[in-house]
Amino acid sequence: MSKIKIVNLQKSFGDFTAVKNSNLTINDKEFFVLLGPSGCGKTTTLRMIAGLELPTSGEIYLGDEEVGMLRASERDIAFVFQLFALYPHMNVKNNLSFPLKMQGYSRSEIKTRVEEAAKLLRIDHILNSNISSLSGGDRQRVALGRALVRRPKAFLMDEPLGTLDAEFRELMCLELKKLHIDIGATTVYVTHDQLEAMSLADRIAVMDGGEILQADEPSVIYNKPATKFVASFIGSPGMNFISIDQGISNEQSTLNIEGTNFNIPKQYEISKGKKNSFGIRPENLSLTNEGGLKGSVFGVEYLGSRKIVTVKTNFGEIKVKTDISTSVKINENVQVKPSNDNIIIFDGETDKSLKSEFVN
Amino acid sequence: MDTSRSYLEPSSFSKKLAATIIIVYTVITLIPISWMVMTSFKNVNSAISYPPEVLFEPSLEGYVNLFTNRSRQSQEYLDSLPAPETWYEELVRSREMVITGPSKFLGRYSNSMIIGFGSTFASVFLGALAAYAFSRFRVPLKDDLLFFILSTRMFPPIAVAVPIFIMYRKLGLGDTHLGMIILYTVVNLSLAVWLLKGFMDEIPKEYEEAAMIDGYSRLQAFFKVVLPQAMTGIAATAIFCMIFSWNEYAFAVLLTQFNAQTAPPFIPTIIGEGGLDWPAIGAGTTLFLLPVMIFTIILRKHLLRGITFGAVRK
């Protein structure tokens, strides 16, 4: 197992730049998730680490070795594809032993390794089955098994749970996490599903438009998003933004919106311009009768234990996560107020969060 | 109203009608073939008798004549010979002839085999490599090249017979196995590339990528992962190529005389006493039919899937 380092990595397809000048360090034995919407460059980054695409510029280190221009077969990594890519003309056992055959292991060594991996993934009872007769979950396990048998330097996974149904995905998520703890392999995992990312990752890198916006632990990504995009992409629903037409000065700790003063965390950074936004998560807002932003109820979604109330205000729609007991009617006039000072101000010009007592 | 069957299922009447049409069509197409097989089992006289004989006494004379050269001898000479050792010798002597040696048929037949299978293998192999490249790599002017390849089939191949004839004579390829294999491969290759490209496009590239990550080179991945999955396409392509090169007549007449002459130009030239030896010709064509028939039957399963390929996703 090794650490993976990406330095100034860039990839262009003709005029289109898929990955822009990216830098990342993935620690040994870490479960690292690349998260972002489709077309953000996360899969291209992964494919470059794998050697399936060659970078336009930049370096990729696997351990201490620079592998950027090496062929996939020379890198000693394993890749789990979204559609599994199990060889349909071979049975499970042959699929698992295929990577080992190339490396010239003895027959008995191959047998031991295949059986070991099969046992670990609980697929030892289907070793002689055909791929076409397997369920989605079993295919997933065989795909993982094929990656495992070689004991590679790193595992790369491209949305491996993408094709499974929701219930099964949750189960496989748990299994993947457990497997990662058991074997402690450096893993880079690509997904567009933030829940998957949150539950699996040691660290997450959020990407958009070919750039890595933030790479940190899930709780930091959620609570202290580096940019407006990260704040809106993570969380369901994402963060609310209220546009404010005022600059932010150093040490400022209140903000006047529509004549109401709101407490904000003490700011340590001066905003560049006068068009900024005020970001707050739905669970940090509450409905009140006075002292908040005025609006009317636009929609109510029940989530079982919580309720999401959408309020139409002069600042656009604001989503509030409230207690299930709160009763509101559509078109009812309400006011929305922060229930704590868990607030982030985003600079209007750079879209980055301003440093404060809360974000540092 | 009968609601037990779905709207998509044809009614039993149309099923019966379809079956009837197919049976009638099959019978009509089988008439010449069965007449040919019948002729091969007739003797020279009943083959040309009028009105034609449908019921006749079967004889292997046609097959014996196909494989042997014979000469007519006087009854005295025949009586002076020792008793015939084999059934076919006896059959020939009863026609007042002796066997003078084997005919050229076996040689022509094996030429057909060598050239037919050789060019089929070459077309499919080269076609698969080219199709893979067209399917996977960024080839400059890809569409133009593909059109160019297809355009070689837009005229009948025989239209270029004269230049090919001259070229082959200059290159010393006339009347050689290699020459005929190259010629048929060239004609078949455009079909092979186009057919196989369709199949290759349908194979997800993740399979090769997985193999390459598993430590195989691209060429190894092609042989171990791509080719086995393209078997359906390869079988269908092989059948089409085989049928063409096996049956090809015009170039074979033009370019081969002795060494590399295939069966098609040879069979109609089998001449017996006083005209064409119809039973021998019938025997020759019947035997000529067998390899393609067996080849197609073996690959039939793939052929059916090959023709309907892409209609339904797995």
- Binary contact (B213, A73; C-beta < 8 A): yes
Whether A7 shows a pLDDT value over 70: the answer reads: yes
Question: Are the C-beta atoms of B193 and B131 separated by less than 8 Å?
Answer: yes
d(CA A80, CA B22): 49
Token pair for B113: 């085999």
Token pair for B76: 């005295």
Token pair for A195: 């829940």
Range with top average pLDDT, B112-121, B155-164, B217-226: B112-121
d(CA A286, CA A335): 8
Whether B310 shows a pLDDT value over 50: the answer reads: no
Can you spell out the DSSP letters for B128-195?
A: HHHHHHHHHS--TTHHHHHHHHHHTTSS-GGGGHHHHHHHHHHHT-TT-HHHHHHHHHHHHHHHHHHH
Domain spans of chain B, in order of start:
44-103, 106-307
CATH topology for the B106-307 domain? MetI-like fold (1.10.3720)
Predicted structure pTM score: 0.79
Classify residue A104 as left (phi > 0), alpha (psi -120 to 50) or beta.
Answer: left
d(CA A94, CA B40): 51
On whether any CB of chain B is under 8 Å from the CB of A70, the answer is: no
On whether any CB of chain B is under 8 Å from the CB of A79, the answer is: yes
Interval A260-264 mean pLDDT = 84
In the block, tokens 């750039």 appear at A211
- Which SS3 state, helix, strand or coil, does residue A319 take? strand
**pLDDT tens readout for residues B185-231:** 999 999 999 999 998 998 888 899 999 998 899 999 999 999 988 88
Whether B97 shows a pLDDT value over 50: the answer reads: yes
Share of chain A above pLDDT 90, in %: 47
A94/B272: higher pLDDT = A94
Q: Quote the crossing angle between the two packed helices B177-202 and B142-151, to the nearest 10°.
A: 140
Give CB contacts under 8 A, 24+ apart, made by A120-124. Answer: A120/A145, A120/A148, A120/A179, A120/A182, A120/A183, A121/A145, A121/A148, A121/A179, A123/A92
pLDDT, residue B85, reads 85
Strands A31-35 and A240-244, bridge-based pairing: unpaired
Whether A179 shows a pLDDT value over 90: the answer reads: no
**pLDDT tens readout for residues B250-293:** 999 999 988 899 999 998 888 776 678 889 999 999 999 999 89
Whether B161 shows a pLDDT value over 60: the answer reads: yes
Strand partners, A189: A33, A157
Whether B309 shows a pLDDT value over 80: the answer reads: no
A23/B3: higher pLDDT = A23
- Binary contact (A77, B225; C-beta < 8 A): no
**pLDDT tens readout for residues B134-150:** 999 988 999 999 999 99
**Sign of the C-alpha dihedral computed for residues A308, A309, A312 and A318 taken in this order:** negative
pLDDT, residue B305, reads 61
**Best mutation target, A48, A62, A67, A79, to test chain B (most B CBs within 10 A):** A79
Interval B98-127 mean pLDDT = 94
Q: Domains (ranges, CATH) in chain A?
A: 4-226 (3.40.50.300), 229-346 (2.40.50.140)
- pLDDT band for position A192 (cuts 50, 70, 90): very high
What does each C-alpha distance from A2 to A148, A171, B183 come to in angstroms? 15, 28, 56
Share of chain B above pLDDT 70, in %: 93
d(CA A122, CA A133): 17
d(CA A232, CA A228): 6
**pLDDT tens readout for residues A265-315:** 888 888 888 889 989 999 999 998 888 888 999 999 988 888 999 999 988
Nearest CA in chain B to A75: B213
- Binary contact (B229, A50; C-beta < 8 A): no
In the block, tokens 């600079």 appear at A347
ipTM beyond 0.90? Answer: no
Whether A64 shows a pLDDT value over 60: the answer reads: yes
In the block, tokens 């026609």 appear at B95
Q: Mean pLDDT, chain A, as a whole number?
A: 89
Strand partners, B272: B275
Interval B117-146 mean pLDDT = 94
Chain B residues with CB-CB distance to A under 8 A?
A: 204, 206-207, 209-217, 220, 224-225, 228-229, 314
Burial class (CB in 10 A: 0-12, 13-18, 19+), A107: exposed
What's chain B's Rg over C-alpha atoms? 26
- pLDDT band for position A166 (cuts 50, 70, 90): confident
- Binary contact (B229, A89; C-beta < 8 A): yes
With beta carbons under 8 A apart, name residues in chain A contacting B217: 71, 73
Strands A187-191 and A154-158, bridge-based pairing: parallel
- Binary contact (A99, B204; C-beta < 8 A): no
A165/B303: higher pLDDT = A165
d(CA A120, CA A175): 11
What's chain A's Rg over C-alpha atoms? 24
- Binary contact (A73, B209; C-beta < 8 A): no
Interval A72-97 mean pLDDT = 89
B190/B303: higher pLDDT = B190
pLDDT, residue A44, reads 94
pLDDT, residue B163, reads 93
Phi, psi at residue A274, to the nearest 5°? -105, -5
pLDDT, residue B92, reads 86
10 Å Cβ neighbour count for A147?
A: 28
On whether any CB of chain B is under 8 Å from the CB of A110, the answer is: no
- CB neighbour list of residue B133: distance below 8 Å, 6 or more residues apart: B139
10 Å Cβ neighbour count for A41?
A: 23
pLDDT, residue B313, reads 39
Nearest CA in chain B to A88: B229
- Binary contact (B229, A79; C-beta < 8 A): no
What does each C-alpha distance from A234 to A214, A219, A238, B65 come to in angstroms? 12, 11, 6, 87
On whether any CB of chain B is under 8 Å from the CB of A104, the answer is: no
- Binary contact (A87, B212; C-beta < 8 A): no
The Cβ-side half-sphere exposure at A188, using a 13 Å CA radius, reads 32
d(CA B12, CA B178): 54
With beta carbons under 8 A apart, name residues in chain B contacting A98: 211, 214, 224
- Which SS3 state, helix, strand or coil, does residue A268 take? coil
pLDDT, residue A172, reads 84
pLDDT, residue B312, reads 41
**pLDDT tens readout for residues A245-254:** 888 888 888 8
d(CA A11, CA B311): 37
**Distance (Å) from the C-alpha of residue B225 to the closest C-alpha of chain A?**
7
**Distance (Å) from the C-alpha of residue A150 to the closest C-alpha of chain B?**
8
